[in-house]
Amino acid sequence: MNDAGDVTRFVIPGEEGYSDFWRRDKSPIESVELVKLLVAIRKLSTFIGRNVGEIVWSGMELDNALALDPTPIMGTYPVPAGKTDLMVGIMVQEAYKRVEWSERLREMLRQRVQPPTQYEYKFDMFFSVCESVYVDGLANTSVLGYYAEVARDWRIVKTLKSLIKPPTLSEMLHLWWRLAAHRDPELYKHGHSDLTLGGLVMRGSLDQYYRKPMETMNSIVPALRDDCPALPSVSDRCDFRLDLYENLWREVLGHIRFWPGDRSDRFMMPDMGDDDELAQEEAEQAAVKATIVNYANLIEAALPQKNRDFTDQIKGNVANFENVARVEGNDIVMLARNRVDRQLLHKLEQVVRNATDRRSVFNRGLSSGKIHSRRLYRAHTTGAVFQQKKHEFDMRKNVVLLVDATGSMADPTQWDQAEMIYQTLFTAILEYAPNARLFAYNEVRNACRITEIYRGGRMLTVLPHGRTASGEAIIATAMNTRIPGKKTLLVHITDGASNWGCGVADALKYCKGNSISLLTLGVSCSLSAKQSLRDEYGSLVKFVDKSEQLPKLFGELIVSEMRESRTSQQ
């Protein structure tokens, strides 16, 4: 509850999960909830890598997409946090396998070891678990490891519940997976006897079967968790694992040659009598797939469009097109803390007001106010002979703020000051330009990301990161915020010159040719950064060393912009 005693959240016992702390956009309607969850999963996948590709539910038709089976989460809506954690964990594991070329590696290893037909099922099982240990180790380097752990435990418990009499390769591998991929990097050294089988009744001592093969499997754990991830390229990491798995397979095969893989290993278990159970599982999966197929069009229509790529548009508007950095839209944001300085806001409102157009608005036929002589004839009937005169102030321009959120802004003190300046300035502008927009740009995975950070009346923020592609950011923002028949005022807030991409000269040329007034505010700039910005922007840049200077400096920029506008009109 909040301070007023109002209920703000409902806690459902047994449905707790990590995702309960961040997932708020939910729905009790099945098709809508599947869309909302898929959007959340797609956003999280961007933290794994660019090669993950599109993510869809199984049953949705999209070539080369990563298809997730929604069977574990269906039936309760909104999806509980615990099940959301599970689906996020499955996505994390499968996404890392894509980024690390797991399927390609499987075929390379198969060609190298050429397992006999009777061992092909065991080979696939061996490879899958080895890769699962590897990708879980990658996830453990970040918070994503908590979600991978949920998916790992779910897969292991599900497998161990359907065990046959030991020894089986499946049981040994899954016990090893639980130890080798644990977030405690030393746990695997203690052996499997320290763990229970997820609540299952122990079926005799497993040491006699699994001790030696698990010791053999343990020999690759340090290499999988530490040495392989340290290699610089994906191909190097694939070659490393290829040699590692090849040697391990030949050694482990000597221990498990006569073991069945599991109840589905038809070479060792020709008839387990479980056809009814398998048929029931396949029927459940088919029913879920049919549901998704029915919802496919609804889901596709409701999904937001993929982040837009502006690179080709920018290349067509610059001379230095061969150096243009990749530019794309972004919608991954965080709520920003309120940094508005009220005293500074009042002063800025006065400055912005001086740059507006004033018009008088009359409200006539009132019962009180100032007498309107032309309506005195109503005095004997209605008495509505008064009027009110109001002055309205409107910038009559399309106003856009663009904030540099690149790596040079990453110092917490500097970013706090930048947030205070742009939030206060934007709030003052909103008073007289209610359709004003606010954007930020940074670099993420070798792309300049443009993010709108004021939506629905809320201030948002991004993490400052990467190189500064000011030219591309200015052009992309100006190009996609233009309103036909209305001039644009673009205010750029930065702490230094562009150091990546096509540069600012082309951006200035584009703005001048498209009736876009570009003003730049330098915040917390060093002496060298100030000189670089003067070289780039000329008289259209002012430097804010202290927040108290902002009203005066912004007023000077506005006045110079108005003069240039009048000169160009003449």
Choice between 280 and 19, residue whose per-residue pLDDT is larger = 19
**The pLDDT of residue 128 is above 70:** yes
Burial 231-264 (b: 16+ CB within 10 A, else e): eeeeeebbebbeebbeebbeebbebbeebbbbbe
Q: What pLDDT score does 440 carry?
A: 95
Q: What pLDDT score does 198 carry?
A: 40
Q: How much is the average pLDDT of 64-72?
A: 87
Q: What pLDDT score does 201 carry?
A: 40
**The pLDDT of residue 559 is above 80:** no
Choice between 51 and 30, residue whose per-residue pLDDT is larger = 30
Q: How much is the average pLDDT of 112-140?
A: 94
**The pLDDT of residue 305 is above 70:** no
Least confident piece of the model among 84-88, 265-269, 534-538, 564-568: 564-568
What is the tens place of the pLDDT at every residue in 488-518?
Answer: 889 999 998 898 998 899 999 998 888 888 9
What is the tens place of the pLDDT at every residue in 149-165?
Answer: 999 999 999 888 777 77
Amino acid letter, residue 357: D
- Residue 47 — very low, low, confident or very high, per pLDDT cuts 50/70/90? confident
Torsion of CA 221, 243, 152, 154, to 10 degrees: -130
What is the tens place of the pLDDT at every residue in 239-285?
Answer: 999 999 999 999 999 988 888 878 777 666 555 445 555 556 566 66
- Give the residues across from 460 on adjacent strands: 335
Torsion of CA 41, 46, 47, 52, to 10 degrees: 90
What is the tens place of the pLDDT at every residue in 193-208?
Answer: 544 444 344 444 667 7
Q: How much is the average pLDDT of 70-90?
A: 91
- Residue 468 — very low, low, confident or very high, per pLDDT cuts 50/70/90? very high
Mean pLDDT of the residues in the chain = 83
What is the tens place of the pLDDT at every residue in 376-415?
Answer: 656 656 767 666 656 555 667 788 999 999 988 888 888 9
Q: How much is the average pLDDT of 546-553?
A: 88
Q: Do 198 and 160 form a contact (C-beta atoms < 8 A)? A: yes
Burial 516-548 (b: 16+ CB within 10 A, else e): bbbbbbbbbbeeebbebbeebbeebbbbbeeee
Q: What pLDDT score does 196 carry?
A: 40
Sheet containing 454-455: order of strands: 334-335, 458-461, 454-455
Angle between helices 505-513 and 470-479 (to 10 degrees): 20
Q: What pLDDT score does 199 carry?
A: 38
Q: If you count DSSP H runs as helices and E runs as strands, how many of each does the chain have, helices first? A: 17, 15
Q: What pLDDT score does 177 carry?
A: 94
Identify the CA nearest to 166 among candidates 235, 262, 90, 252: 262
What is the tens place of the pLDDT at every residue in 411-439?
Answer: 888 899 999 999 999 999 888 888 899 99
Choice between 471 and 47, residue whose per-residue pLDDT is larger = 471
Q: Do 333 and 462 form a contact (C-beta atoms < 8 A)? A: yes
- Residue 131 — very low, low, confident or very high, per pLDDT cuts 50/70/90? very high
Structure tokens at 413: 């003190």
| Percent of the chain at pLDDT exceeding 70 | 78
What is the tens place of the pLDDT at every residue in 332-342?
Answer: 788 888 999 99
In angstroms, the Cα distances linking 68 to 58, 96, 174, 307 are: 5, 14, 21, 21
Q: Do 511 and 517 form a contact (C-beta atoms < 8 A)? A: yes
CA angle, corner 485, sides to 483 and 491, nearest 5? 50
Radius of gyration of the chain (CA): 32
Q: What pLDDT score does 442 carry?
A: 93
Choice between 236 and 198, residue whose per-residue pLDDT is larger = 236
Cα 538 from Cα 508, distance rounded (Å) = 10
Choice between 295 and 487, residue whose per-residue pLDDT is larger = 487
| Three-state SS letters, 47-82 | CCCHHHCCEEECCCCCCCCEEECCHHHCCCCCCCHH
Q: What pLDDT score does 538 carry?
A: 86
Cα 249 from Cα 241, distance rounded (Å) = 12
What is the tens place of the pLDDT at every residue in 207-231?
Answer: 778 889 999 999 999 999 999 999 9
Q: What pLDDT score does 474 carry?
A: 94
Q: How much is the average pLDDT of 294-314?
A: 71
| Three-state SS letters, 428-453 | HHHCCCCCCEEEEEEECCCCEEEEEC
Q: What pLDDT score does 165 carry?
A: 76
Q: What pLDDT score does 189 carry?
A: 82
Identify the CA nearest to 144 among candidates 96, 111, 184, 179: 96
- Residue 192 — very low, low, confident or very high, per pLDDT cuts 50/70/90? low
Handedness of CA 331, 332, 335, 340 (dihedral sign): negative
